[in-house]
Amino acid sequence: MHPKVLIDACAELIRLTLTFEHPADAVVSRFFRDNRGLGPRERATLAETVYNVLRKKLLFDHMAPSGSGPKERRLAILGFHGPRDFLLGGLTDQEKNWLEQCDSVKPDDLMERHRHNLPEWLVQPLKDQLGAGFWPLVESLSQSAPLDLRVNALKEKRADVQKELAKAAIKSLATPYSPWGLRIEGKPALTKLDAFTRGAIEVQDEGSQLLALLLDAKRGEMVVDFCAGAGGKTLAIGATMRSTGRLYAFDVSAHRLDALKPRLARSGLSNVHPAAIAHERDERIKRLAGKIDRVLVDAPCSGLGTLRRNPDLKWRQSAKSVQELVAKQTAILDSAARLLKPGGRLVYATCSILPQENEAIAEVFSAAHPDFEMLDAGELLEQLKVADARSLCSGGASGTGYLRLWPHLHHTDGFFAAVWAKKA
């Protein structure tokens, strides 16, 4: 494809994405469906260019006015993800000169907002939590995330799958914390691999794997994944249960649960029962009250821990939308807690990095439910033989009470989890 044509395609995709009417990944997928002639290399350039623009939006918005031509084209040039010579081949002399001027700007000469590229409402809560760690976080959020796989422990051993991937010229490293994880650089076509089609691997961030590990569901138990979504954690939990007992996968979206069905078929699990519920007080929930051994509440959240993968979320969320989520998270956790029998374990988790969706929710729940005792996440992960478990945790009464994962420290998405046992 000629550089000029590809730059124009990038500009059009940027225009569609920046309306923020739909998630960026959905806009990109639709664009690819509508333009079936694009090869894998062109698709990669288009997607990464859009994500670059979303990551550095404030900086590029600041630089774009000094150029000429349609704004989306200027943004496409600034964010272009591909060989420099190729890009220059599609530019006018005027655009080349402008790009050179933009490139000569030193980061130290920029205003702070053009360096961190975060909305103002998000900056202070992160600085308050991280102090000097704020800028390392910013740096990590400006990179794209690696691809993590979970090896299906019901069927396979991690070392065997790693060798199998190596034969297919896919290099992987064992994840440092999750016993099931493999980390891959780049984006190989996994769906064509036998390991994928036979259910030996699933794509799942290491942090997400650790949430399933923390639930520590045992053979023969009654377990609920309360906000199952497309079921990544459900499948990991089912494998720890060795496909015994009963594992309910609840979600308010039947559409999301539909995405679980093909994954479930590949996984070899026979103990999973997906069920769409109307809301957190659904009749199905009431019928199971007091009967469940373990409940995972991976609550709907701002998703701000996933900004390496979903940089549009920082522009699509707001302080107001987070406030609305907090009310929902509180109600969902309260309802889910009713399911547990005495001695049962409750895990509340988000992929957010905001304390109001995390520690604040956990503290309110603990205060309102004296019949639940908080457990130390660091201690639980140590018992599960997770390397350096306490470095993954913070806060709480014991100092390591909560699981708290950060992209710049742990190379996972940002995750939070709090764990309680219902008193006998």
Residue 280: per-residue pLDDT? 87
What is the pLDDT averaged over residues 259-272?
95
What is the pLDDT averaged over residues 261-274?
96
Q: Is the confidence at residue 216, as pLDDT, over 80?
A: yes
Instruction: Tell me which residue has tokens 């519920």.
Output: 277
The 10s digit of each residue's pLDDT in 108-130 is 999 999 999 999 999 999 999 99
What is the pLDDT averaged over residues 77-84?
96
Give CA–CA dist 41/82, Å, rounded: 9
Maximum CA pair distance of the chain?
A: 75
List b or e across 325-343, with b for residues whose CB sees 16 or more CB atoms inside 10 angstroms.
bbeebbebbbbbbebbeee
**Is position 301 annotated as part of the catalytic site?**
no
Q: Is the confidence at residue 262, as pLDDT, over 80?
A: yes
Are 381 and 325 within 8 A, CB to CB? no
User: Which residue among 10, 227, 301, 351 is the active-site one?
Assistant: 351
The 10s digit of each residue's pLDDT in 157-213 is 999 999 999 999 999 999 999 999 999 988 898 999 999 999 999 999 999 999 999
The 10s digit of each residue's pLDDT in 376-412 is 999 999 999 999 999 999 875 556 699 999 999 999 9
Q: What angle do CA 12, 13, 18 make, to 5 degrees?
A: 100
Average pLDDT, the chain: 95
